[in-house]
Structure 1
Amino acid sequence: MSNVTALELSSAATIKNVFGYVRSKFSGAGEFDGTPYGGDANGPDGRTGVIKQISDELQLLGNIGGRLDYVAGGYFSHETDNTRSTSVIFDLAPVSPPINQINNGKFTNDTYAGYAQGTYDLGLVGLKLTAGGRYSIEKTRFVRAADDTYVTAPLAAYDFNQRATFKKFSWTVGVEDQVTTDLLLYAKSRRSFRSGGFNYFAPPTTGFGNASGGAYRPETATDAELGAKYRGRVATLPVRLNVAAYQMWVRDVQRAFYAQIFGNLASITVNVPRAKISGVEVDGSIDPVPWLTLGGSANYTNARFTSNIVNVVDNPQARFDTYPDTPKWAGAAYANVKVPVSDRLTANLRGDVYAQTFTYFSSTAKSLTPGARIPGYALVNLRAGLGDVQKGWSLAAVAKNIFNTVYYTGGVGFANIFTLNTAVPGDRRTFLIEARFNF
C-alpha cells in the first residue's frame, strides 16, 4: 500500500509526502546438496516468515532562479522480519539420524536519513553540474526465539539480543554537457553503502565474522564513470548509441562463508577487505527500414578482490580468490519487426539472443571450493504478438530458450563443509501466452 500527496507551494516549489506499508508472508522449502541423499534440506517444516515495513518520506523539490533544480527531504522506515527455518543435515536414516537445526528469530531495522541534491545550469550551452548527499543512521536488532538451535544449546559466548547502529554518508557529483541536440557527454562519481547486520545462520557471538562473531560491517562502494549518449541519425537512419566506462572501488565486501563454527555447520557473513571492478558497457540500435529495428549490447567486466585474506571465526584464514556471479563478457542482440495489420492492429515479431562467458558461484573457487565454476552459454528467445493501441490490449506468444540449452545460473559452494557444490540449472524450453489490457 502506498500514498503520494503533493502540495504546490508556488510555481517553483512543491512539497511531497510518500507513505508506504508492506506486509509479505512467505513459505517454502529447498533441497540444497543436489543429491538423492539427505545431505542438506529444509525438511518438512520448510522456511516460513512474515516481513512488515512502514515508511514515510517528506520531500521539498523545485527550482531556484530558473537554473537550480533541487530536492531535499527526510526518510524513515521501520521493518520487522520474523523468519523460522529448519535444516535437516546428513539424513542417513536408518544408518544414522540426521542433524536437525532450527533458526528462528526476529530482525528489527529502523532507518533515519536526510538528503539533498541539486542540478545547476551554468548558463553555458548544455553544461550542468550535479551534487548531492545523504546521511543515514540504521539501527538493527536481532532477537532469537526460544526454539532456536543456538538458544536450546547455548554457549557462554552467545548473545541472544544482538544490536548495532551503522552511520554512513553517501554522495554523488557529476557534470554533463549537451554538446548537440543529439549528443550528451557526462562524468560522474558516487559513493554508496550496503548496511551491516547480523547473519541469521551464524552463531550469535559478539563481534564481527572476521574475528569473533555473527555480525558484519557495512559495504562501501565508490565509483567513477565516463559516458556518452547519442540519439540521432547517421545518414538518414535513426540511431541510438550509449557508451560508458567505469571503475568501482569496494571496501568490506559482504560475502557468505560456509564453515563449521563452534560445532555447528553455519553460513557466516564476512567482510573481504577490498575489491575493484572495472568495466565498459555499450548498447545501441538502428532502424535500417521503418518496420525493422536491430540492436544489442555488450559488457566487459573485470572484477577482482585486491585485498582478499579474511580471518573467519573459529577457522583458518580464508583466501577469497574468485569474484562470483560476474562473467567477464556478456552481450545480447535482437531484431524487432513491427508491421501494421489494419488501421488499429499492429503485429510484432522479436527474436533475441543472450550470451555470456564462464563465471564462478563461489568467492573461494580456486582454494576452498574447487569446481564452483559454471560454463558460458547462449540462449535464443522469440516473441510474436498482436496489439490494438487505441483499445489498449495486446496478446503475445513467447518461446524462451527455444533450443533447450542446458545452462546454469548460479550455485552454492558447499565444498568447504560437504565436499560438494550445488549448481542451479536455468529454465528449460518454455512457452508462454501473455495477455495485457490497459484501463
Structure 2
Amino acid sequence: MSLTLAMLLAGQTVPQPTPEPVPTPESAQAQDDASAAQGAPAPAGAGDIVVTARRRAESVQRVPIAISVIGGAELDKTGAFNVNRLQQQQPSLQFYSSNPRNSAINIRGLGAPFGLTNDGIEQGVGFYVDGVYIGRIGASTFDFVDVERVEVLRGPQGTLYGKNTTSGALNITTRPPSFTPEARIELTAGNYEFVQAKASVSGPLSDRVALRLSASSTQRQGTIYDVTSGRNLHRFENNGVRGQLLWNASDSLNFTLSGDYNVQNPLCCVQYYARVGTTQRPIARQYAALAAAFNYRPPSTNPFDRVTDLDAPINSRQEIGGVSLVGNWDLGPATLTSVSAWRYWDWQPQNDRDFIGLPITTVSQNPSQQKQVSQELRLASNGTNRLDYTVGAFFFHQTINTQGSQVQGSAASRFLLSGNDANNPNVLNGLTSTNTINFDNTSFAVFGKLNWALTDALHIQPGLRVNYDRKSGFYESVVSIRNAQYAFTATADNVAALLASQPTAAARTTFQNQINTLAPQRYSPRFSAWNTSGDITVSYDVSPDIHAYATYARSFKSGGINLSGLPLNSTSTGVDLSTQTVKPEKVNNYEIGLKTQFLNRRLTLNLAGYWTDVFDYQATVNNNAINVIRGYLANAGQVRSRGFEFDTSFRPNSRLNLYVNGAFTDAKYVRFANAPCPPELSGGSAASATNPASPAGQAGSATQPSYSPAQCDISGQRLPGISKWSFSFGGEYNVPVGSKGGEAYVGYDGSYRSRFSSNPSPSAYTWIEGHSLSNVRAGYREGGINVFGWVRNVFDKQYFELLSTQSGSTGLIVGQPGDPRTYGVTLSTRF
C-alpha cells in the first residue's frame, strides 16, 4: 500500500491540466459492436479490437497468445451473462458446477481436478476482474455486471499475471467511469418467470472525478420440481451492485476505487435419477434391491421429466464482495501500476447428498468463509523502444474457515453396510461428523516479460517468474451418535480406546463400521516451496495482417494440502498422514499459432496448435471406500493435452457477420496407475492374488462374491469433462429500416460438443453424449434503443451438464440436466 500512497502524494503535487477526452456512449457502443464476435474484425477502416491481455493496450491480432475476445454487446445479445453460458461460445473453455463451491474452470481440459472441491488446492485457470485475482471460483457463477469485454487466454500466463496460471486465464474488464454523462438500461422477461434487469449510470462529479454505478438482478423460477416440498428448484436469484470512482489526479496519474457486493440465493443444486448401472456389490445390495426393500420408487425414471423427491433442504446461497484501488502513473518511458484489493466470500449451502427421497445421507455441507488480500505492482514500458518490458511483484494472502457436517439417516445402514449391521438402522441412524477446517495460504512472486524487437518484424519475448507458496491447514472431524441403541462421541484422541472398550467381537465390528463410515481424525498439514518458471515466445510479422508465433512455457501449479479428510491407515483408527500434502504440478507447454486477416480485414482466421504435458497432475482419489462422499487429493504420474484450435469470422459487408470457432482436444492420462475405479469395478470384496478382480459390472451373489481392485490403472484413458470436438458458430444479418438509421436483424448462435466422460475414471455409465444447442434472436435497433426476442435451446435438446455416482457403489447414476428451451424479450436503451 506504501507505493499506492506515494502515487497519491505524487498526484497532489502535479499541475492540474484539462483531462483527456473520453469516448462518448455512442463511440463506446461502436467499440462494443466492433468486438462483438470472437476475434471478429470491425468493418474496413475501423479500429482494431484493443485488449489488455499482456497488461498493456494493444491490438488482439498482434498479441502472440491464443486469445478470444467477447465484447459487452455480444454478451448482452447472446444471453451469455455468466461463465456457464460463455462456454457455449468458447470451444476450448469448460465450466463444471455441481454447485457454486464445487465449480471448476478448465481450458484445454486442464485447470482443476474433476469432482468435489478441496480447499487446499488452487485453480489452474486464473479468474480476474479489472486486474484483481479472484481466489474463490464460486464468484464465476455470478452474473456479469456492466462488462466491457471478456478475454479468454489459453495456455500458461504466469509471467504476466499476478497469480500463477498454468492453463490460462479469464480476464474480465468492466466499463470504466466516463466524463461524458451516460446511462444504460436493459430489461428482459421470459418464460419460467424469467426477469433480468441491468442498469448503469456514469458521469463527472468534477473535472477530475467521474463515477460509475452499475446494478444487475436476475430472477427465474426453477426448472426442476421437487414433489416433496412442492417447490421449483434450480431457480435464478442473483443480485449485484458495483461502484467505481475515477480520479484523474493529473495527465499522468489516475486512480480507480471500486467496490462490489453480490448475493446469490438459488434453490440448487440438485442431481437426481438418471439411470442405473451394475456394480460389483452383491445383487441384494444394489440400487434396485435396496429401493425395493424400502418400497421406494423415484417420482420418474425419465430424468427429463425434471422431477425429484428430496427429503432434505437444498440451497446454495453465497455472498461475495470487496474493494480495490488501481493506480496508474505514467512516468514517460514506462507506466507504474498498483492493484490493491480486499475480497470476501461467504458460502451457506444445504444439500441432500444421497440424491433420492430416502434418509441415507441427510446432511452433507461445508459452509465456508473466505477472505483475501492482494497487492500487485507492475512497471511496463510504454512501447517506444526496441526493448519493451513488464516487470512486477505480486502478494496474495487468503484464509478459509469451513464448518463441515455430515449426518446419516435411518436408511444409511442398509445402503452403506453389509452383514448383520446392514439390517439394523440404528447402527448409522444419526451418525454425525462435525468438521472444523481452517486454511491459510500465502503466495509471493516476482515476474517479468521482455519484448525484444530484433527487427521490425521479428520479436523475441522471454519471461521469468519466481514464486513462493506457503499453505497451512487444520482438519478435525468429531464423530458422534445418539439414538435408542448407541451413544458415543469419538475424536482422534479417544477412538482407539473406544474401539478397545467394545465388549464383544460383534460390538467391535459395529463400532468399526461406524467410524469407517465417518472417521474421527485430526491433522495439521503444511506445505511450502519455491519454484521458478518461465516462457519464451518468438513472433514474426509476415505482413501487417499476418502474424506467426511459437511459444515454449515451463510452469508450475502450486502444491496443496488435503482438507477433506484422509484415508484410514492399516489400524483403521488413524489416518494415513503420508497423504496430507500433494506435490506441485509441473507443466511443459509447446504452442504454435498464426493470426491472419484478409480481404481488407473483413476475414479473420486465427490458428493455434499445442502440446501440454503435466507431471504430478493433481487428481481426486477415494481408495475404493464405498461410503466416502469426498475423496482426497493425490498425484497422477502424467497427463497430456494436445490439440488445435481455430477462430474465424467473416464480415463481407456492414449487413452480415459470420463466425465459426472450433477446438480438437486430445486430453489423456499418460500415467495414472493408482486411480479410483469406475463404478462397474467397485463395490465388491477386496481382490487379491488368490481372488483376482472380477469382470466389470458383474454383481456378486450370496454364494459367489465379486472382487474389486483397490485401485485401477487408467493410463491412456481420457480426462473427464473433455469433448474431443467442440464448435461454436453463428452470425447476424441486418437490413435498414426507415430513414433514421434503424435496422431489423436476425441472429443465430450454435454450439456442439462431442461425447465426454463425467467421471474422474471413465465409466460406461457416465458418458454424456454429444449434443448441439441452437439459440436465435430477432429484433430492431435504432440509435440507442434495441428490442429483440430470443429463444435459447430452440429445439429443446435434452442433455446433461454432468452425471455422478451415488456413494456406496449402489449403481445409481444421478444427473444434472441442462436448461430446457427458454424464450423471452429484451429491451435495452442507452442515453
Could you say which TM-score interval applies, normalised by the shorter chain? 0.7 to 0.9
Give the partner amino acid of 1:426.
G
Choose between structure 1 and 2 for higher RCO, CA contacts under 8 A separated by at least 6 residues.
2
Deviation of 1:259 after TM superposition, in Å, equals 4.2
| Superposed counterparts of 1:100-115, under 5 Å | 100-115=432-447
Which digits, 9 at most, give the CA deviation of each residue in 1:201-260, with x for residues without a partner? 222889xx9983232222222111111111221xx7821111111111011111222346
Task: Please give the alpha-carbon distance, in whole angstroms, between the structure 1 residues aligned to 2:790 and 2:379.
Answer: 44
Displacement of 1:191 in angstroms is 2.4
2:524 equivalent among 154, 161, 165: 161
What secondary structure, in the 3-state scheme, does the structure 2 residue paired with 1:212 have? Answer: helix
The aligned residue for residue 391 of structure 2 is 72
- 1:331 correspondence with 2:727: yes
Contact 2:433 2:477 in 1 (8 A): no
Among residues 369, 374, 396, which one is paired with 1:50 in the alignment? 369
Structure 1 segment 152-231 matched on structure 2, within 5 A: 152-154=490-492, 159-203=522-566, 212-231=578-597
Q: Which residue of 1 aligns with 2:760?
A: 363
CA contact (8 A) 2:475 2:522 kept: no
The reply to whether residue 316 of structure 1 matches residue 710 of structure 2 is: yes
Question: Is the Cα contact below 8 Å between 1:249 and 1:277 reproduced in 2?
Answer: yes
CA distance in 2, matches of 1:42, 1:297: 43
Matching residue of 1:138: 469
- Where 2:798 maps in the other structure, the secondary structure is coil
**By percentage of residues, which structure has more helix?**
2
User: Pick from 319, 325, 340: which aligns with 1:3?
Assistant: 325
1:311 and 1:28, CA in 2 relative to 1: closer, same or farther beyond 3 A? closer
Q: How many angstroms apart in 1 are the aligned matches of 2:347 and 2:782?
A: 37
Change (3 A) 1:103 1:376: farther
CA contact (8 A) 1:33 1:40 kept: yes
Query: What letter corresponds to residue 586 of structure 2 in structure 1?
Result: T
Note the alpha carbon deviations across 1:20-64, whole angstroms, 9 max, x for none: 111121222233444333444545xx4422111110011122158
Question: Aligned match of 2:642 in 253, 278, 302?
Answer: 278
Distance 2:802 2:756 in 1: 9
Equivalent of 2:767 in 373, 376, 382: 373
1:12 alignment partner in structure 2: 333
Give 1:402 deviation, angstroms: 1.6
| Counterpart residue identity of residue 8, structure 1 | D
- Of 16, 26, 36, 2:347 maps to 26
Residue 478 of structure 2 is aligned to residue 84 of structure 1: no
Match of 1:352 in 2: 749
SS at match of 2:398: strand
Change (3 A) 1:436 1:71: farther
Contact preservation (8 Å) 1:259, 1:416: no
Q: Deviations over 1:325-360 (max 9, x none)?
A: 111111122021234446354444321221111110
Q: Distance in 2 between matches of 1:145 and 1:231?
A: 58
Q: CA deviation at 1:14?
A: 2.1
Per the alignment, do residues 99 and 159 of structure 1 end up closer, same or farther by CA in structure 2, a change over 3 Å counting?
A: closer
Distance in 2 of aligned mates of 1:210 and 1:371: 31
Change (3 A) 1:78 1:270: same
Give me the whole-angstrom Cα distance separating, in 2, the residues matched to 1:148 and 1:388: 65
C-alpha change, 1:40 and 1:432, in structure 2 (3 Å) is farther
Q: Is the 8 A contact 1:158 1:204 kept in 2?
A: no
Counterpart amino acid of 2:327?
T
Match of 1:242 in 2: 606
- Shift of residue 273, structure 1, vs aligned partner: 0.6
Task: Output the aligned Cα RMSD.
Answer: 3.2
Q: Secondary structure at the match of 2:551?
A: strand
- Who is 2:262 aligned against? none
The one-letter amino acid paired with 1:201 is S
**Aligned residue among 298, 301, 314 for 2:665:** 301
Asked if structure 2 preserves the Cα contact closer than 8 Å seen for 1:260 and 1:417, the reply is: no
Segments of structure 2 that go 5 or more residues without pairing to the other structure are 1-322, 413-423, 481-488, 497-519, 570-574, 677-685, 687-708
Letter in 1 for 2:771: Y
Aligned to 2:633: 269
Structure 2 distance, partners of 1:427, 1:244, is: 32
Q: In structure 1, what is the Cα distance between the partners aligned to 2:626 and 2:653?
A: 67
Judged with a 3 Å threshold, the aligned counterparts in structure 2 of structure 1 residues 268 and 65 are, in CA distance, closer, same or farther, namely same
TM-score (norm 1): 0.85
The partner residue of 2:802 within 410, 414, 428 is 410
Give 2:191's aligned residue: none
Return the offset for 1:323: 1.2
Secondary structure, aligned partner of 1:310: coil
CA distance in structure 1 between the aligned counterparts of 2:576 and 2:612, rounded to whole angstroms:
23
Counterpart of 2:765 in 1: which secondary structure? coil
Please say if residues 475 and 563 of structure 2, whose CA atoms lie closer than 8 Å, have aligned partners that are also in contact: no
Instruction: State the structure with more CA Rg.
Output: 2
Letter in 2 for 1:130: Q
Q: For each residue in 1:368-424, what CA deviation from the matched residue of structure 2 results, as whole angstroms up to 9, or x when unmatched?
A: xx41211111111123354555x4x64544321121111112233456745434332
Query: Bigger shift: 335-344 or 107-116?
Result: 335-344
For residue 590 of structure 2, what is the amino acid of its counterpart?
A
Shift in alpha-carbon separation, 1:414–1:215, aligned structure 2, 3 A:
farther
Greater alpha carbon shift after TM alignment, 237-246 vs 109-118: 237-246
Q: Work out whether residues 199 and 215 of structure 1, in 8 Å CA contact, stay in contact via their aligned partners in 2.
A: yes
